[in-house]
Amino acid sequence: MPLTRIVVQAGRTESELKIISDTLHQTLVDTFHVPPDDCFQLIDEYPSDRLVVNQHYLTGERSSKYTLFSITAGKPRDQATKARFYQMLCDRLVERMNMSPDDVMVVIQFTNPDDWSFSGGKLFRLPSDTELS
């Protein structure tokens, strides 16, 4: 049940945004074992003067293609799983979008099931035969 906010600088085409979205979701399915129909994403576009990031902090050099994935997930993952996810997402974006690895940033926060309400004002409760994604 990840919810992801994808932050980009304005000017990306609809095709580029779809590739980014699809790549993220497929990588979550492949590494976090998220069900294929469990897709919740918000794509935020900002003008260059409203997307303020240090071009060199802990990396080579960020460009106007900088993309932030801010993921809120319900099930904690171990360090190895997160490392696989980060690397696979970056590799796929480099391959599919010709993005620089320096332009890919990911932040993941984990929550408890009772931190979610999917609809109707009801507290989310995991069915006994279902595993949290």
DSSP type of residue 50: G
The residues annotated as belonging to the active site are 2
Q: Give the whole-angstrom CA distance, residue 113 versus residue 126.
A: 7
CA atoms within 13 A on the CB side of 20: 26
- Per the listing, tokens 């993220």 go with 24
Q: Hey, what amino acid is at 58?
A: L
Q: Give the whole-angstrom CA distance, residue 19 versus residue 24.
A: 8
For the sheet containing 104-110, what is the strand order? 40-46, 3-9, 67-73, 104-110
